[in-house]
Structures are given as structure tokens and as C-alpha cells.
């Protein structure tokens, strides 16, 4: 099996596990940190999460682009669907989640926290859709 395809599937499923954990466990528990130490907590959360997530997201994007531009091995329309889902994820991250994290880095804000949890469902569902998409991608692969 093609290394690029394996890396695509592995990075997507790593992100699926991570996003569901964040959505169901980590983000909801943020409100229990308390206002005294929340700024430091949030800044640490952002730093540590970035170090874990950015390489996975770049691997996911890079391998999806390589699969799209690689002639003949996969149905290009199927591969393009993965890119569209990634676009939704990246746009959601930049325009919806990052601003809420920036607000929270100034101190706990219940409204920002609620917006973060609610808006993150978009990424959670989009990454889950990418997981389903990887099965379709594997089905269309010429090995």
C-alpha cells in the first residue's frame, strides 16, 4: 500500500481521536479550572495543543494534496472531497475556535467558552466525515 495514502488515513484518524477527546472531555472541563489559574492554564493548553495538532494537520493536508496531484492512482473527485472537508476544518479553526481561545487566554469567559464548545462541533463532525471519507478513499485506491 502507498505510504502517502497510509499517512493520510493515519493522520486523519489521529485527529478524529483527538478532536472527540477535546470536544467531549477537555473543552467541557475547562469551566472547572477556576478563574485564579485559568489564564496560565489556557496559555499552556494552547501551546501544548499546537505542538501536537499542527504537525498532524500539516501531514493531513500535505498528504491529501499529494494524493490529489498524483495522477491515476485515486479518483481525483473523491480526493477533492477530503480537501473540501479540510478547508472547512481549517476555516473553522481560524475564524471560530482561535478567536475564542484568544479571549479565554485573557481569563475565563463563560460566553467564549460556550462559543468554543458549540463551534467546535463543526470540526468534530468534519473530521468524523473525513474518517468515513478515508474508507471511501481506500475503497477507490488502486493498489
Residue 72, pLDDT > 90, answer no
Total number of domains constituting the chain: 1
* CA atoms of 59 and 92, how far apart (whole Å): 18
Task: Name the residue range of residue 56's domain.
Answer: 3-140
Task: Report the pLDDT value the prediction gives residue 129, as an integer from 0 to 100.
Answer: 98
Task: Report the pLDDT value the prediction gives residue 141, as an integer from 0 to 100.
Answer: 84
Q: Mean pLDDT throughout 25-30?
A: 96
Task: Report the pLDDT value the prediction gives residue 143, as an integer from 0 to 100.
Answer: 53
Contact 115, 100 (CB under 8 A): yes
Q: What is the pLDDT of residues 105-137, one digit of tens each?
A: 999 999 999 999 999 999 999 999 999 999 999
Residue 87, pLDDT > 60, answer yes
Residue 13 Cα distances to 34, 105, 132, angstroms: 32, 29, 10
CA angle 59, 83, 72 (to 5 degrees): 90
Angle between helices 110-140 and 3-21 (to 10 degrees): 150
CA-based nearest residue to 12, from 93, 83, 68, 78: 83
Contact 67, 126 (CB under 8 A): no
* CA atoms of 19 and 21, how far apart (whole Å): 5
Residue 55, pLDDT > 80, answer yes
* CA atoms of 61 and 93, how far apart (whole Å): 14
* CA atoms of 22 and 29, how far apart (whole Å): 9
Q: Mean pLDDT throughout 44-63?
A: 97
Share of the chain above pLDDT 90, in %: 89
* CA atoms of 66 and 50, how far apart (whole Å): 23
Task: Report the pLDDT value the prediction gives residue 125, as an integer from 0 to 100.
Answer: 98
Amino acid at each position: 500500500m502507498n505510504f502517502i495514502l497510509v499517512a493520510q488515513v493515519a493522520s486523519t484518524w489521529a485527529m478524529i481521536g483527538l478532536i472527540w477527546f477535546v470536544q467531549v472531555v477537555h473543552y467541557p472541563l475547562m469551566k472547572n479550572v477556576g478563574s485564579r489559574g485559568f489564564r496560565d492554564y489556557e496559555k499552556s493548553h494552547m501551546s501544548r495543543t499546537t505542538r501536537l495538532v499542527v504537525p498532524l494537520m500539516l501531514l493531513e493536508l500535505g498528504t491529501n494534496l499529494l494524493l490529489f496531484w498524483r495522477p491515476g492512482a485515486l479518483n481525483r473527485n473523491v480526493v477533492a472531497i477530503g480537501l473540501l472537508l479540510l478547508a472547512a476544518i481549517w476555516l473553522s479553526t481560524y475564524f471560530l475556535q482561535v478567536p475564542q481561545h484568544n479571549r479565554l487566554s485573557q481569563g475565563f469567559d463563560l460566553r467564549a467558552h460556550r462559543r468554543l464548545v458549540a463551534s467546535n462541533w463543526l470540526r468534530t463532525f468534519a473530521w468524523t466525515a473525513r474518517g468515513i471519507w478515508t474508507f471511501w478513499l481506500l475503497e477507490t485506491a488502486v493498489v
